[in-house]
Amino acid sequence: MLGEFQTWWAAVKFSGSDLISALALVVSTGALWVSWHFGRHQRELAKVSLRKETEAVEKSKNASIKCRLMGSGPNSYVVNFGNRGPAEARNIIIDTRGNKEAERLFEQRTGEHFPHKRLHAHDSFNVPVSIYMESPERYTFFVSWDDDTGERKTEEKIVSMLG
């Protein structure tokens, strides 16, 4: 076998174009390695950019419900429910979870306003509430809603007479 290779190798004749082709192969292999080696930084930047873009898309699907207790006239108060997120909130409900002060705050008005079907981005609605002389300064309740993320969100909300 070795003898056959030596015979074949001895019969091979190299010309100038063969040498140029071999040199071009070496240079292109080197260029490929350099491109791969120094392209790692570019690939990392592309991954970071893709991750930030994905986060921005996810953030644009979120609704964010904010609540605040506001005076709406003499001895008249409302809880303002506002959507501060870029997406629409749907099927908004409140849950007092047995909190007597919060139940008394909303009294029978929850059936009139909840579940609230839709709350567009940067929109709000008011729910009249009952404030009594012996009412506490702060009320705690939970708000739940659906948005474009496909997940049911529930957040604890605290509203205060002091703003």
Domain residue extents for the chain: 15-59, 65-160
Distance of alpha carbon 45 from alpha carbon 126, whole angstroms: 46
Distance of alpha carbon 80 from alpha carbon 70, whole angstroms: 7
Over residues 75-91, mean pLDDT: 86
Of the listed ranges 1-5, 98-102, 123-127, the least confidently predicted one is 1-5
pLDDT at 152 over 60: yes
Quote the tokens at residue 7.
């015979």
- pLDDT tens-digit map of 45-61: 889 998 999 888 887 78
- pLDDT tens-digit map of 102-136: 777 777 666 677 778 888 888 888 888 877 777 78
* 78 band by pLDDT with thresholds 50, 70 and 90: confident
pLDDT of residue 28: 92
Quote the tokens at residue 42.
């570019």
Helix (H) / strand (E) containing 10: helix 2-11
Nearest to 144 by CA among 121, 116, 124, 123: 116
Nearest to 81 by CA among 28, 117, 41: 117
pLDDT at 163 over 60: no
Quote the tokens at residue 103.
């139940």
Over residues 69-92, mean pLDDT: 84
CA-to-CA dists, residue 121 to 48, 68, 84, angstroms: 28, 17, 6
Helix (H, G, I), strand (E, B) or coil at 151: coil
> For residue 64, what is the DSSP state?
-
**60 vs 152, more confident:** 152
Helix (H) / strand (E) containing 38: helix 16-38
Nearest to 61 by CA among 122, 133, 142, 147: 147
pLDDT of residue 29: 92
pLDDT of residue 110: 64
* 9 band by pLDDT with thresholds 50, 70 and 90: low
The CATH code of the domain at 65-160 is 2.60.40
* 5 band by pLDDT with thresholds 50, 70 and 90: low
Backbone angles phi, psi at 162, to 5 degrees: -85, 0
Among residues of the chain, what percentage have pLDDT more than 90? Answer: 2
Quote the tokens at residue 89.
């909130």
Over residues 53-71, mean pLDDT: 83
Helix (H, G, I), strand (E, B) or coil at 46: helix
